Amino acid sequence: MTYKTGSIGEFIKWTKRVVTDPAAVSDTPKRWFDSDETAKRSLGTATSPEAMVKLLSVENLVLLQLIGRERPDSVRALAQLAHRKESNLSRTLKKLHEAGIVAFEVGQGRTRAPRLVAQRVTLELDLVGPGSVVSVQRP
Q: Distance between CA atoms of 78 and 61, rounded to whole angstroms?
A: 14
More confident call, 130 vs 51: 51
Q: What are the beta bridge partners of residue 115?
A: 103
- Neighbouring C-beta atoms of residue 82, cutoff 10 Å: 20
Confidence category of residue 30, pLDDT binned at 50, 70, 90: low
DSSP conformation class of 114? E
By three-state DSSP, how is residue 126 classified? coil
pLDDT at 35 over 80: no
**Rg, Å, the chain Cα set:** 19
More confident call, 85 vs 20: 85
Q: Supply the pTM of this predicted model.
A: 0.65
**What pLDDT sits at residue 99?**
87
Average pLDDT of the segment spanning 72-79: 95
Average pLDDT of the segment spanning 119-136: 76
Among 109-113, 115-119, 128-132, name the one with the lowest average pLDDT. 128-132
Among 52-56, 62-66, 91-95, name the one with the lowest average pLDDT. 52-56
By three-state DSSP, how is residue 52 classified? helix
What's phi and psi for 103, nearest 5 deg?
-125, 170
Average pLDDT of the segment spanning 112-137: 81
pLDDT at 27 over 90: no
Q: What are the beta bridge partners of residue 135?
A: 122
